[in-house]
Structure formats: structure tokens, C-alpha cells
Structure 1
């Protein structure tokens, strides 16, 4: 879920250490697919050579791989949509190959964290920011003739998610596959003005992301693969919480991370959740 990098974010990136990708040799062959919610933009250290993906060596895929042992191919990329599973993605710093190219018959584990950019969830959250009182809630903007445009967009994405899962299984037939959901981005009733989203909009954001995660879980179940819920365990760690408690950064981050994206603490906790889910299934 990644719209654009501001000049401030770019300057932060230049200050980060750059490290090469490390691969361990062992039985587990893990491939991580996904967007910025998995990649970890601006979390130190950002990885060479595909800097345009803003991928951290402390994202949950890397930490999960350390927990499990074995090798890792992390091809997560900020801004990725489902189509970038199949086609090259143009980033601000160059083109990266289709993510599914990382899979092979020897792949034993796959996590896929994708879909939010297809429907523009990050943009939706930013659109609901309201710095002034009085102001108009944004949730009414997405209702027309008794229909909710975000739910319609989510439902329209179902066949694409199904196809991605089927193609992962076709390319990595021996792999355990897990669809990963999105975290909690607002508490009940929000916390305006700390995070400048009105009460009604905070609840609408929660409901919208919950429905999106439900869709992902349903499509995973329909295709016979696992689903890893990050929304439930991240309750109480949303952007309204203090630094050191929150797993998702607010509109103005106080740690190296992109607004409304996981920070390093969030990635560590997500890795614990993903590791536990994978180990429980063995």
C-alpha cells in the first residue's frame, strides 16, 4: 500500500544503511510476495539492488526466514498490484521482474500479501484525513444508490486473488502457501486530532479493511491455502498509540517508516505471527 514518496521520505532513505540480501542455506525455501505492507519501506536497512521497491532486510519475511532457517527470496515491492505478479513493475528507480518469477518447483513456503493497491486502500485512508473542525466526514463519499464503492471494489478483486493463488500453486506445487491480511489502521472511534480522522471515518476505515481481510480469507479458504490474520493481533497497536506501542505509523511518522505502514516493531511482531502460523501447520 504505497502511493508516493515525499521529499522528506527520500531524504530519510538516503540516510539509511544499504545492505545486500543475505541467503542462508538450509531445507526451507521461502519466497515472499507482496506490496509495501510486506516490503517495509524506509525501515532500515533498505536492500540492494532493487532500491525502488523500498524493501527492508528487517521486514517480516526476513525475520520469519531467520526464525525458520533456510533460504529466502524476498521480491516484495512497494506499490505492487496483483498484475505485478505477472508483469514487470516500474518503480521510481527502475524496473523489477514479475514476482511470480521467483517461484520454482523447489519452493517450500510462500507468503503473498497483495491487493490493497488494486483498490487504493492507502489513498482511501489519506483521503479521509481531516485537519480542521468543522469538517465533512469522507465515508458518505463512497455510498451511492445503497452501494458501497469500496466493498464493490473488494468483491471485484476476488477472481484476481483466486488466480494469483492458483498460479502460485502451479509454479510451486510443493509449497505451503499463506495469504497474509492487512493490519489495524484505526482504533474504534479513532483519535482525532492525534490522527486527524473523524470518528465516523475511523470506524468506516476499520469496517472497510475488515471486509477486505474477510475477502482475502475467503479466497484463501476457497483455494485450500492458509490465511494469516494480522488485523486481530494488531488491535491496540494502531497509529493512535504511542511510539514503542504502535506497529503502524501515523500520518507523521516518528520512526523510519512510511505513513500508515508497518514500522520495525510491527514487522518484528508480524514475523512472530507468521512464524507461529507456519510452524503450527507443520
Structure 2
């Protein structure tokens, strides 16, 4: 039975100090044991440059050849790399369709999931529509907190046990794997926004930032509870969908000017996430 990736990384880290190996990634590739990497999750893991998107003929899942798992695989150079990420995936889809890619020999698993479970696409569409008649107010927050209950916070809470189930399923199918759970890139700036370029009302920007922060926090807590590693790309500012300089964007807006899917990571965003995961490993 091969050693877990965690032990392999520790060993190569010690070797790098003794022999001045330049990077952790290069040390991994020189390990005698083969490295098997499986990438799982939704469109924030599956999509990248739009011109590289393709549809898996076996599953109908849309992926890109330069999403963060593919970029990470380029850096780690695993002996086996299986990408089963799927645009539109929810936790149930991971349990029903993606776990089968795992084996007892899987060494590394990356996972991004949960956004579709709380209805990310519908939330963006609803808040965008509400902004058209009240661009300076907070109509979206009012909609989702009517009656004193924050519906989106409740959705995040209801998604937590689903994340637990996914992580338990991964551990069952790949008992020795290092599991890295990756959160969601920041979509909006801290305040004001950029209506109508990104049609979110000024008053709703802090609220929706709080929703995204709450989602990432919950995912991180569930990852930690399951003994997985959490990587949170959502705290960095200055690379949101409102950036005036296109090359600073890590998230595209609803009307793409870059070669990316609307409201999804750009090539630069996916490269940043891959770097974060590689640095963590």
C-alpha cells in the first residue's frame, strides 16, 4: 500500500532542505511512487479560457484544458491525472457521478463544490434583475432577508451536511488521498460595485460579499472537520469582476470582454488558484 501524499510531501520537504531541491513540485515529480491526481467539482474548477472548453462525450460535462486542475497537473506532473469536474455540478452530482473516478491508489484529490447548491446562478440573475429598478439601493438583500430570516445564509447552512457527505465519500473511495478543498474566487469589490457593468445594486455589494464569505467559511470549516486541507482564494481584493484593466480580472463579468465564461474565473484567475494549491502542497 503506497504512503499517503501527506507523508510523501513531508519527506520531499526534508530532502529539499538537505539537498537544496528548488521546489516542492519538482520534488514530488521525482518521488519513486507514482502520483495519481483526481480533480472534482463544479464550473469554478472545470471552466477556464472559453476557447479551450470542450464537452466530455461520456458525461456531457463541459471542461477546459486550462482550468486550475489542469494547470496544477502541469506543475505536479502526476503519473495519472483524471479531471471529472463538471460545469453545473452540485454535491449530489459529485456523489453520484464523480466519486467513481477515485481508487484506493488515488494520492491527491482537489474539490470545489457548494456554489450551485445555494443557487449561485439564480442569485446572480435575481439580484441583477432587481438592480435595474433600484441601482443605488439594496433590493436583493431586502428580497432575501424579508421576514427577518436570511434565506441565503439558511441555504449555506443546509449545504454544510452535503459537503460532509461528499468528503466522507471521497475518504471512503480514496482512503489514503490528500484532499484539498478549494473555495471560490472573490466576485465583487468590497463596496460600491460597478453597476451596470456588473448589474448589482450599490447597497447589495456588501451583502453579497458577505454571502460569498459565508459560503467559503462554511466550506473551510467542513473541510477542516473532515481532515482535509482548505484553500481560500476569496479573500484577495483587486482582481474582481469590476476591474477596469482586463488583465487584472480573475473573475469575468456577465458581459465578457475576455475569453472566459460569464461570472466565472478567467485564465489568470485559474492560474492563481492553481498556484495557491501548489503552494499549499
Matched, 1:39 2:46: yes
Q: In the alignment, is the contact (CA less than 8 A) between 1:239 and 1:248 conserved in 2? A: yes
Matched, 1:236 2:238: yes
Q: Which runs of 4+ in 1 moved over 3 A?
A: 47-52, 131-136
Q: Which has the larger radius of gyration?
A: 2
Match of 1:84 among 86, 93, 110: 93
2:247 alignment partner, SS class: coil
Matches within 5 A, 1:260-271: 260-271=263-274
CA distance, structure 1, for counterparts of residue 136 and residue 206 of structure 2? 16
Matches within 5 A, 1:161-240: 161-189=163-191, 190-233=193-236, 235-240=237-242
CA distance, structure 2, for counterparts of residue 62 and residue 177 of structure 1? 16
Cα distance, 1:67 vs structure 2: 0.5
Match of 1:27 among 23, 34, 43: 34
Q: Choose 185-194 or 123-132, whichever is displaced more.
A: 123-132
Match of residue 57 from structure 1: 65
CA distance, structure 2, for counterparts of residue 192 and residue 77 of structure 1? 30
Match of residue 108 from structure 2: 109
Q: In the alignment, is the contact (CA less than 8 A) between 2:184 and 2:232 conserved in 1? A: yes
Q: Note the residue ranges of structure 1 that are not aligned, 5 or more in a row.
A: 1-23, 88-97
Q: In the alignment, is the contact (CA less than 8 A) between 2:62 and 2:86 conserved in 1? A: yes
1:118 alignment partner, SS class: coil
CA distance, structure 2, for counterparts of residue 108 and residue 175 of structure 1? 4
TM-score (norm 2): 0.82
CA distance, structure 1, for counterparts of residue 196 and residue 144 of structure 2? 23
CA distance, structure 2, for counterparts of residue 84 and residue 228 of structure 1? 22
The alpha-carbon distance between structure 1 residues 160 and 134, as it changes in their structure 2 partners (threshold 3 A), is closer
Aligned residues: 244
1:59-112 CA-partner distances (Å, limit 9, x unpaired): 00000011111121000000101111232xxxxxxxxxx111100011000011
Q: In the alignment, is the contact (CA less than 8 A) between 1:187 and 1:236 conserved in 2? A: yes
Supply the RMSD in Å over aligned alpha carbons: 2.0
The alpha-carbon distance between structure 1 residues 223 and 117, as it changes in their structure 2 partners (threshold 3 A), is same
1:255 alignment partner, SS class: coil
Cα distance, 1:48 vs structure 2: 5.4
Match of residue 253 from structure 2: 250
Cα distance, 1:42 vs structure 2: 5.5
1:28-81 CA-partner distances (Å, limit 9, x unpaired): 211000000110166332245348322001000000011111121000000101
Q: In the alignment, is the contact (CA less than 8 A) between 1:44 and 1:57 conserved in 2? A: no
Q: Choose 39-48 or 107-116, whichever is displaced more.
A: 39-48
1:151-185 CA-partner distances (Å, limit 9, x unpaired): 00110111111111011011001100011101101
Q: In the alignment, is the contact (CA less than 8 A) between 1:188 and 1:202 conserved in 2? A: yes
The alpha-carbon distance between structure 1 residues 108 and 138, as it changes in their structure 2 partners (threshold 3 A), is same
CA distance, structure 1, for counterparts of residue 122 and residue 248 of structure 2? 24
Q: Note the residue ranges of structure 2 that are not aligned, 5 or more in a row.
A: 1-28
